[in-house]
């Protein structure tokens, strides 16, 4: 399974970078999202994947015992997902605003600095 | 003594308030500073002429061997007297020349700063201190040349001068450091004892080469001479003070100062003779054809500097004596001519020598000073110039090899200089006064007295050579040759070859003066080769560098986000690939891998197709939907692998993102392929390579064992310390609670941003 996930990570990175290199702002945002997903999966995988043992302490126990999924990467990823949502939401609205003002989402045409908003 | 040197800098600080305090009246009082310094230094004269030297030490950076060490011997004393003496006259002159100028305070500040730096140069006994003061003169000269900062040529000339002299300064520093490296001695006065050791060292050619470039740039030797005519954009007092009497002689001073240390070596002598010879001839011939009085004087100054370099290059006692005398001779007459030019410019508004004539009728005292200076310049007895020129011929005639070639060069130079001096000192005053200048009047005494004093001194020293002979010239020659000299300066040497040469020089020069009339045509002929002159070459070089840096900057800093990304990614890819394929063995340990179930295989396949679809679809909506599919597949993977919290978060966030996208999607532009196919292939290749690298990297990392200390700590303490059973939650809200709070703040800011952007839209619609 790790091999498959590794391939998906590579694919997500490749797709993300390809999209970021495009001239369209919408594609740029999609690229960012894909890249973010790739990074999340990378962290997740590097904490090693464990099936069926979520890091939740049993009702009768006081600490995690035996095999359990690593809680640390999960905490990191949770933070990352939420933060990237903030970024995405802001970026999407910004693109929309920018398009309203300059009538393009082509990065190459957005080169004037003194537009009135 | 330290105070005497730093007085210029201290006064420069207070100059603005001082000048304001004087309120435009009696600014002449400022000249008290250089004058008191002059008196201070002249008080050393008896001790110096008795063969003493005066030293002063003050540790500055002892660990680096840098000290504020000063040293006063004959050579330094001549220069300090020139600096303070001519300084006094220039300060007086300026008070009238720039009367009421709004930036007079600045001007005096720069001028006294310059004076301080120059005193530092000629008295420094430590090679690093010497360099520091050397650079300070370049900087204060920059401010003075660019004093008329609202004129573009003025700014440009200032920059050229700073560029050339600063460039040379760096070479000088390198030379000094190399010299220090060879000898481990930074004291100039102790260096001469090591002369033999330095000569034998393999770095000796480097040292003299570097010192030469420093000296030649400062003293405007060919091919670095061109900044000096440009520097004439400065107000006349500056030209007088810096660019004829003192600063440009710093290079000469340096060469003279290092003669006992580095001199007496064929390379040293030959280079100086050749460069000095070229400079004196080239500049003297140029001086003949100029129309601008200051241009004439600039070129004749360069030529005089060439003569000095040439004489130091000859290096015989006779030549060094001639150099010492000529420094004084030149300072006296050239400063006079400059000051006179300033008066003419000030009163008539022109410096074009072909238009000026007959000014004697309106400003006789100035004319007399001009005549005296021109005569001294020409070397006509009984002036001090005559003594100087005799010594030069004496030195060239008695040189071991090629005496006649050297003498010939000196004669040609002197003839041309005589002509130039007559143009500047006599031509404007002789003949008929043009009607245009009939109303010209004599300037205030503050302006015409200084040149008069200098001109009279030039005459006086010529008639009574013992005035300077014993007290000044002898100590200089003994400082340069390290021997007590045995000579006396005379006005009259009897009938001999030297006298014949002098007479021939004067006769030819005067004949030339009556024969050649300066005109535009002649100027045109002289500037025909401007295109290949060093000045044009340097300008071309400057433009080339600017052009190249512009191209280079545009190439690297082109303002396109994607090119920056491509650069960074390519570099990263190369670096990673290099490391991976050269230093790491790639393998996969199958035993550590978990098995693949059919559900997982299906999900991974769906994800892969969704990702590829997102990239290649032509519809925005489809791309966003496919992205949603990727996100939901993530949820499932998280769910399979024991991360229920992540699955829930991913699910809600992904839903929100897709909804947001869909909501604004109708306001967005068409989803077009903007790039060309070639670009897409390039980006695709880069992306694929990078993705593959990340995959390989991940595989490799998976082979490493995991440190689980932190995770174990959280897993054990989550309930005991945090009283929570969901470890991930406890980490977020308890152990790392502050981080989460900051994260919420970030989200709040993003929300505010989104909100205000939306608000903005409403307003602009209202406006419409």
In a domain, residue B495? The reply is yes
Top-confidence range, B424-433, B484-493, B497-506, B694-703 = B694-703
| Beta carbons of B634 and A41 less than 8 Å apart | yes
- Chain B CB contacts of A13 below 8 Å: 687, 690-691, 694
- B765 pLDDT more than 60: no
| pLDDT at site B334 | 87
Among partner residues B566, B641, B747, which is closest to A49 by beta-carbon distance? Answer: B641
In a domain, residue B431? The reply is yes
In a domain, residue B570? The reply is no
Q: Pick the range with the lowest mean pLDDT from B280-294, B649-663, B669-683, B714-728.
A: B669-683
What is the number of domains present in chain B? 2
What's the mean pLDDT in B157-183? 88
pLDDT band at B724 (very low <50, low <70, confident <90, very high): confident
Residue-wise pLDDT for B473-501, tens only, equals: 888 888 777 777 666 676 666 677 778 88
Whether chain A has a CB inside 8 Å of the CB on B439: the answer is no
Q: Pick the range with the lowest mean pLDDT from A16-30, B24-38, B417-431.
A: B24-38
In a domain, residue B594? The reply is no
Shared domain for B547 and B461, answered yes or no, is no
- B744 pLDDT more than 80: yes
Shared domain for B539 and B397, answered yes or no, is no
Cα angle vertex B516, ends B515, B518, to 5°? 150
Shared domain for B444 and B548, answered yes or no, is no
The distance of A114 to chain B (nearest Cα, Å) reads: 16
Residues paired with A56 in a beta bridge: B726
Q: Pick the range with the lowest mean pLDDT from B219-233, B330-344, B462-476.
A: B462-476
Of A95, A61, A36, A115, nearest to B663 by C-alpha is: A95
In a domain, residue B753? The reply is no
Whether chain A has a CB inside 8 Å of the CB on B26: the answer is no
Query: From CA B153, how far away is CA B681, in angstroms rounded?
Result: 52
- A 10 A CB-CB count for A108 gives 13
Shared domain for B470 and B323, answered yes or no, is yes
Shared domain for B426 and B545, answered yes or no, is no
- B382 pLDDT more than 50: yes
In a domain, residue B748? The reply is no
- A115 pLDDT more than 50: no
| Beta carbons of A11 and B661 less than 8 Å apart | no
Shared domain for B470 and B541, answered yes or no, is no
Shared domain for B288 and B425, answered yes or no, is yes
Shared domain for B476 and B553, answered yes or no, is no
- B376 pLDDT more than 80: yes
- Chain A CB contacts of B732 below 8 Å: 75, 78-79
In a domain, residue B464? The reply is yes
Distances (CA, A) of B430 to B357, B359, B507: 6, 7, 19
Shared domain for B543 and B499, answered yes or no, is no
- Chain A CB contacts of B766 below 8 Å: none
Domain regions of chain A by residue span: 2-52+68-109
| pLDDT at site B528 | 64
Among partner residues B595, B688, B747, which is closest to A82 by beta-carbon distance? Answer: B747
- B11 pLDDT more than 60: yes
Shared domain for B407 and B542, answered yes or no, is no
Residue-wise pLDDT for A26-77, tens only, equals: 888 899 999 999 999 999 998 888 888 888 888 787 777 777 888 888 999 9
Whether chain A has a CB inside 8 Å of the CB on B539: the answer is no
Cα angle vertex B478, ends B476, B484, to 5°? 140
Residue-wise pLDDT for B114-133, tens only, equals: 888 998 888 888 888 889 89
| pLDDT at site B287 | 82
- A117 pLDDT more than 50: no
pLDDT band at B633 (very low <50, low <70, confident <90, very high): very high
Shared domain for B539 and B488, answered yes or no, is no
Q: Looking at chain B, which residue has its C-alpha nearest residue A92?
A: B661
More confident residue, B19 or A19: A19
Shared domain for B553 and B421, answered yes or no, is no
Among partner residues B642, B690, B751, which is closest to A14 by beta-carbon distance? Answer: B690
Residue-wise pLDDT for B68-94, tens only, equals: 888 888 888 888 888 889 888 888 888
Complex confidence, ipTM: 0.90
Phi, psi angles (nearest 5°) of residue B331: -60, -40
Query: From CA B354, how far away is CA B345, in angstroms rounded?
Result: 14
Of B752, B758, B716, B751, nearest to B735 by C-alpha is: B716
- B380 pLDDT more than 90: no
| Beta carbons of A50 and B675 less than 8 Å apart | no
Residue-wise pLDDT for B586-608, tens only, equals: 777 777 777 788 888 899 999 99
In a domain, residue B2? The reply is no
Residue-wise pLDDT for B231-270, tens only, equals: 887 888 888 888 777 888 888 999 988 888 888 888 888 8
Give the range of the structural domain holding residue B540, as residue numbers without chain letter: 531-557
Q: What is the mean pLDDT of chain B?
A: 83
Task: Tell which CATH architecture fits domain A2-52+68-109.
Answer: Orthogonal Bundle (1.10)
């Amino acid at each position: 399974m790790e091999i498959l996930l590794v391939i998906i990570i590579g694919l997500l990175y490749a797709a993300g970078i390809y999209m970021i290199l495009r001239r369209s702002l919408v594609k740029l945002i999609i690229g960012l999202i894909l890249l973010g997903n790739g990074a999340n999966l990378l962290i997740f995988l590097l904490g090693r994947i464990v099936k069926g043992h979520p890091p939740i302490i049993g009702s009768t126990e006081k600490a995690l015992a035996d095999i359990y999924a690593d809680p640390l990467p999960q905490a990191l990823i949770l933070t990352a997902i939420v933060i990237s949502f903030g970024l995405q939401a802001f970026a999407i609205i910004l693109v929309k605003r920018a398009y309203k003002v300059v009538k393009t989402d082509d990065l190459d045409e957005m080169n004037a600095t003194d537009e009135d908003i | 003594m330290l105070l005497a040197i730093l007085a210029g800098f201290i006064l420069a600080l207070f100059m603005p308030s001082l000048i304001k305090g004087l309120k435009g009246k009696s600014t002449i009082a400022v000249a008290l500073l250089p004058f008191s310094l002059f008196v201070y230094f002249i008080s050393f004269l008896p001790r110096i002429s008795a063969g003493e030297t005066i030293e002063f030490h003050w540790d500055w950076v002892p660990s680096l061997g840098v000290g504020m060490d000063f040293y006063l011997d004959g050579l330094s004393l001549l220069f300090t007297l020139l600096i303070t003496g001519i300084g006094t006259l220039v300060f007086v002159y300026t008070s009238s020349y720039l009367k009421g100028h709004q930036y007079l305070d600045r001007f005096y500040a720069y001028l006294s700063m310059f004076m301080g730096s120059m005193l530092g140069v000629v008295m420094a006994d430590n090679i690093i201190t010497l360099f520091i003061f050397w650079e300070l003169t370049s900087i204060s000269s920059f401010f003075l040349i660019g004093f008329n900062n609202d004129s573009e040529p003025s700014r440009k000339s200032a920059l050229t001068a700073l560029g050339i002299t600063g460039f040379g300064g760096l070479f000088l520093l390198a030379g000094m450091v190399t010299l220090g490296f060879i000898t481990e001695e930074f004291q100039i006065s102790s260096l001469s004892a090591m002369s033999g050791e330095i000569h034998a060292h393999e770095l000796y050619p480097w040292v003299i080469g570097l010192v030469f470039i420093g000296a030649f740039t400062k003293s405007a030797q060919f091919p670095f001479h061109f900044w000096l005519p440009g520097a004439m954009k400065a107000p006349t007092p500056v030209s007088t003070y810096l660019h004829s009497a003192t600063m440009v002689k710093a290079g000469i001073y340096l060469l003279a100062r290092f003669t006992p240390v580095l001199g007496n070596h064929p390379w040293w002598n030959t280079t100086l003779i050749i460069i000095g010879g070229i400079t004196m001839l080239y500049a003297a011939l140029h001086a003949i054809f100029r129309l601008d009085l200051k241009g004439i004087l600039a070129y004749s100054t360069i030529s005089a500097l060439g003569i000095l370099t040439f004489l130091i290059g000859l290096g015989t006692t006779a030549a060094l004596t001639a150099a010492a005398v000529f420094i004084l001779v030149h300072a006296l007459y050239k400063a006079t001519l400059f000051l006179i030019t300033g008066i003419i410019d000030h009163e008539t508004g022109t410096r074009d020598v072909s238009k000026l004539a007959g000014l004697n009728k309106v400003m006789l005292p100035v004319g007399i000073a001009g005549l005296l200076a021109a005569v001294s310049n020409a070397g006509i007895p009984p002036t001090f110039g005559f003594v100087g020129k005799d010594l030069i011929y004496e030195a060239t005639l008695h040189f071991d090899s090629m005496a006649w070639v050297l003498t010939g060069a000196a004669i040609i130079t002197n003839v041309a200089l005589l002509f130039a001096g007559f143009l500047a000192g006599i031509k404007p005053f002789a003949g008929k006064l043009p009607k245009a200048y009939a109303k010209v009047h004599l300037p205030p005494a503050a302006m015409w007295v200084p040149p008069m004093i200098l001109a009279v001194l030039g005459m006086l020293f010529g008639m009574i050579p013992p005035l300077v002979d014993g007290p000044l010239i002898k100590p200089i020659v003994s400082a340069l040759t390290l021997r007590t000299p045995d000579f006396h300066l005379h006005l009259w040497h009897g009938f001999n070859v030297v006298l014949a040469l002098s007479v021939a020089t004067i006769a030819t020069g005067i004949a030339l003066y009556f024969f050649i009339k300066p005109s535009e045509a002649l100027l045109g002929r002289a500037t025909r080769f401007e295109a290949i002159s060093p000045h044009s070459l340097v300008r071309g070089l400057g433009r080339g560098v600017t052009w190249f840096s512009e191209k280079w900057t545009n190439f690297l800093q082109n303002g396109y986000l994607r090119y920056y990304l491509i650069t960074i990614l390519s570099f990263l890819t190369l670096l990673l690939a290099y490391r991976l394929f050269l230093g790491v063995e790639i393998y996969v340990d199958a035993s550590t891998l978990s098995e693949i179930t059919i559900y997982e295989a299906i999900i991974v396949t769906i994800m892969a197709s969704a990702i590829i679809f997102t990239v290649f679809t032509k519809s925005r909506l489809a791309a966003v939907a496919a992205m949603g599919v990727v996100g939901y597949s993530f949820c499932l993977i998280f769910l399979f692998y024991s991360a229920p919290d992540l699955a829930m978060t991913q699910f809600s966030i992904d839903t929100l993102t897709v909804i947001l996208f869909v909501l604004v999607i109708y306001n967005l532009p068409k989803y077009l392929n903007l790039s060309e196919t070639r670009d897409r292939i390039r980006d695709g290749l880069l992306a694929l390579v990078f993705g593959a690298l990340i995959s390989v990297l991940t595989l490799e990392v998976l082979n490493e064992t995991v440190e689980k200390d932190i995770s174990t700590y959280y897993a054990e303490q989550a309930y005991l310390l945090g009283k929570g059973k969901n470890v991930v939650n406890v980490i977020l809200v308890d152990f790392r609670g502050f981080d989460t709070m900051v994260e919420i703040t970030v989200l709040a800011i993003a929300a505010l941003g989104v909100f205000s952007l939306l608000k903005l839209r409403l307003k602009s619609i209202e406006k419409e």
